[in-house]
Structures are given as C-alpha cells and as structure tokens.
Amino acid sequence: MNSNSRRDFLRKSVLASVGVLAAPAMVSAAGKKDDTEIQTGQFRLKYAPSLGMFRASAGKDPIDNIKFCHDQGFRAIFDNGLMGRPKDVQERIAYELDLLDMEMGPFVLYADFSVTSFVKNDADTLKMLINKMKDGVEVAKRTNAKWALVVPGRYDQKLHWDYQTANVIENLKYCGEILEQAELTMVLEPLNGLRDHPGLFLTGMPQSYMICRAVNNPYVKIVDDLYHQQITEGNLIPNIKAAYDEIAAFHLGDNPGRKEPTSGEINYKNIFKVISEMGYDGTLCMEHGKTEGGKEGDQKVINAYRQCDSF
C-alpha cells in the first residue's frame, strides 16, 4: 500500500471508530446487524461465480447462467475456460455482461502445471510465452476482459533458485509489455504445493509481491487465492495488507475441502470487511465447489455469501 493509500485507510479506520462514517444501509437503527439475517439485493462486493456453478438452477447455457447470477445480486462472473470457448460464444458472453453491467473476472491465459517455462532462459521458451500472451490479447479484445491469469509453471530442480527467479522476472517483463499495449492486466497466481500442486515455482504472497515489484509493470499483478494461501502460509489478512498494492484480484474457497465460505476454517466475513475497508473494487472469483448438490446446494452457496457479505 502506498503512503496515500495507507493514510486513507487509517483515516477511514479512525473515522469509523468514532462513528463519523455513515453506517451501511443494512445496519439496523440500533447500529447492530443480525449475523443470522440473510440479506437480499445486490452484493456489496463483486463476488464472481464461475459459469456453471449454478447449473442445477440455471442450466448449461452460459448466458442463462449470467442472467441467473445477476438476478441473485452478483455483479461479476468468471470463466477459467474462456479461451477455449468458440468465438461467437465469447462475444455473446461479453454482450450479456455489458447489458447487465457486470464484470468478467480473470480468465486463464496460461497455466501449464507440467512443464518448466518462466524459470527458463532460452529463446524458444520466450517465443512460446509471447505467442501465448498474443492469443490472450485477442480473447480479451473479443470479450472486453481486463484481467488474465498466468501460472509461471514448475521450478527447475537443476537450476539455482535465484537464477530461476531472475528468469521469471525477465520473462514477465517481456510478457507484460505485450499485455500493457492492450491494457490487459496479468495476474500471477501463487498455488499451494502441500496438497494440490507440488513442484510449482510460485507459491507464496511475499514471493509474488517481490517478483511484481521487480517487474515494475502496472499490468503485472497478483491474484490472491485465499484457499491456496491458507494452506501455504496462512496469515491471510496481514498478507493482504502487505501486498495490497500488487493485488488485482482474489480467488475464494474455504479450507479444508475447497467449498463455499462458512464450510471450513477461514473467517471470510472478517476478510471481506478488511478488503472493503481498503477500498477494493475488483472481482472475487468463487473458485470452489459446493458442499451440496442440486438447487439446494446452489442456494446454500448464495446464502453463505449473503452471510459473509453482511460485515
């Protein structure tokens, strides 16, 4: 957080503590909310269901899914598989989101968990990465997407870690220049290596923050996946605050189980409160499963977000 952002955050915190800031509309006349109350209407933050999360209620058509999400009060969606959809479907998705004034969260531009890529320093690898970035730019043009997710791949067991880090930084500089021209922001995703993705190079928030600082491009940022970071290092709220200037998106999911908030150990209500107080206005992608199937499971997910959104 830069000095101005930090001063603004502290000012808001002080004003809120003495009751100067206006209370949210959902607060009762006595100034206290009922934690068990399920609110209705538009969500306060831009939680973004994946296309297909509510398939039991909305069917398989992506446009019907967008309409259903909008009717439930969601202001965003995300689609990891956007690049693989037919061009006409991509355009239909973009049109519907624009019509309903909804945002598209980061789509997956490049995430190959099986190979070393960004950690290498060779012409063929760089050429491949640049071509991937160009493909992502074309998808972004068709869909009006503003964020694209990248995973830097596996680490190299035969190369010193510091050389790998230097290579990642240099490769990201080249890729960032291409995305910057299209005003498409790359979000790097650190993933846990303890349970889901052993062997990957990027795993933690401090590591990601350091790399983004070294790349020094406003179009190379971080997506903070709170499920992965709870497993990797915990310390979720302090890391959000420390790395906030380099965070452009969030992924959500509780632990253990990677299901909806309230199903595990993460206090999402407190996290959402902190994110809101810091002025975050981007998407929070609901990249998780459901504890129950069918329409009942769909409603349980929606209710969980209503509960956590009542901070």
pLDDT computed for residue 25 by the predictor: 37
Q: Which of 63, 77, 74 is nearest to 40 (CA)?
A: 74
pLDDT computed for residue 186 by the predictor: 98
High-pLDDT (> 70) share of the chain, %: 87
pLDDT band (50, 70, 90) for residue 5: low
The neighbouring-strand residues paired with 188 are 150, 222
User: CA–CA separation, 224 vs 287, rounded Å?
Assistant: 12
pLDDT computed for residue 30 by the predictor: 36
Q: Which of 228, 221, 172 is nearest to 200 (CA)?
A: 228
Mean pLDDT of all residues in 281-309: 98
pLDDT computed for residue 40 by the predictor: 72
pLDDT in tens, 121-169: 999 999 999 999 999 999 999 999 999 999 999 999 999 999 999 999 9
The neighbouring-strand residues paired with 48 are 285
Is residue 305 within 8 A of residue 261, CB to CB? The reply is yes
pLDDT computed for residue 3 by the predictor: 45
Q: Could you check whether the bond before residue 256 is cis, i.e. omega within 30 degrees of 0? A: yes
pTM value? 0.87
Strands in 147-150's sheet, in edge-to-edge order, are 46-49, 283-286, 247-251, 220-225, 185-188, 147-150, 107-110
CATH number of 47-308: 3.20.20.150
| Total residues found in the chain within this entry | 311
**Buried (b) or exposed (e) across 234-259, using 16+ Cβ within 10 A?**
eebeebbeebbebbbbbbbbbbeebb
pLDDT at 4 over 60: no
Q: Rg of the chain's alpha carbons, rounded to an integer?
A: 20
pLDDT computed for residue 12 by the predictor: 54
DSSP character at residue 197: -
Is residue 138 within 8 A of residue 130, CB to CB? The reply is no
CA angle 211-214-217, nearest 5°?
A: 100
